[in-house]
């Protein structure tokens, strides 16, 4: 009888640990979106998978975020608050790392310093539709804004470099291929 009790206790403890792990991953994903909308760049970088900073130093990534979101090259990007409608994939343990794929909705505006010439608007809209993989792109000439709603994907990663706490990466084929091997990509269905 004691053996059954201890086995049941172990199973419940394991399930509880998994639930907390999934719960912290989900809370972190929402926090990442909130920090992005709030332009809290340092907090955002604190939540980023640290191996990214082996490819580009943290300061360089910080400057890139600032120039993208605060304006520099004739435009700035504003992430708009919206319900992300997360779709969380299962947590997968691959070797010593844990991963989860998170799909979500994004809403953003590209605010131009100068209006896009009327004859070029259609080309710009087409480029954003192609690059953002969405049909939901429009240009507001009066406000000089490109309004975009698109699906996005991020990867949650926990491993020894993160002290087994969840960190996140916006998914791109190029970056993922540099940080992780093809076997991991395949096992995650990417």
Structural domains of the chain, ranges and CATH numbers in brackets: 2-187 (3.10.450)
User: Given this model, what pLDDT does residue 6 score?
Assistant: 31
Average confidence (pLDDT) over 24-47: 96
Average confidence (pLDDT) over 6-20: 35
User: Given this model, what pLDDT does residue 71 score?
Assistant: 80
Q: What is the 3-state secondary structure (H, E, C) of the chain?
A: CHHHHHHHHHHHHHHHHHHHHHHHHHHHHHHHHHHHHCCCHHHHHHCECCCHHHHCCHHHHHHHHHHHHHCCCCEEEEECCCCCCCEECCCEEECCEEEEEEEEEEEEEEEECCCCCHHHHHHHHHHHHHHHCCCCEEEECCCCEEEEEEEEEEEEEECHHHCCCCEEEECCHHHHHHHCCHHHHHHCCC
pLDDT over 90, % of the chain: 85
Q: Is the pTM of this model over 0.75?
A: yes
């Amino acid at each position: 009888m004691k053996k059954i009790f201890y086995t049941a206790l172990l199973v419940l403890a394991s399930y509880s640990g998994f639930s907390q792990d999934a719960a912290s991953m989900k809370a972190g994903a929402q926090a990442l979106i909130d920090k992005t909308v709030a332009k809290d760049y340092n907090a955002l970088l604190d939540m980023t998978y640290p191996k990214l900073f082996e490819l580009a130093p943290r300061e360089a990534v910080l400057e890139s975020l600032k120039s993208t979101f605060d304006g520099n090259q004739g435009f700035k990007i504003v992430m708009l608050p919206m319900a992300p409608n997360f779709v969380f994939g299962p947590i997968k343990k691959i070797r010593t790392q844990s991963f989860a794929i998170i799909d979500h909705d994004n809403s953003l505006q590209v605010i131009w310093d100068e209006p896009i010439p009327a004859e070029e608007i259609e080309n710009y809209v087409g480029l954003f539709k192609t690059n953002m993989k969405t049909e939901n792109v429009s240009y507001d000439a009066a406000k000089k804004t490109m309004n975009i709603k698109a699906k996005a994907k991020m990867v949650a990663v926990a491993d020894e470099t993160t002290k087994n706490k969840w960190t996140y990466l916006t998914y791109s084929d190029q970056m993922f291929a540099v940080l992780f091997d093809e076997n991991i990509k395949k096992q995650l269905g990417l």
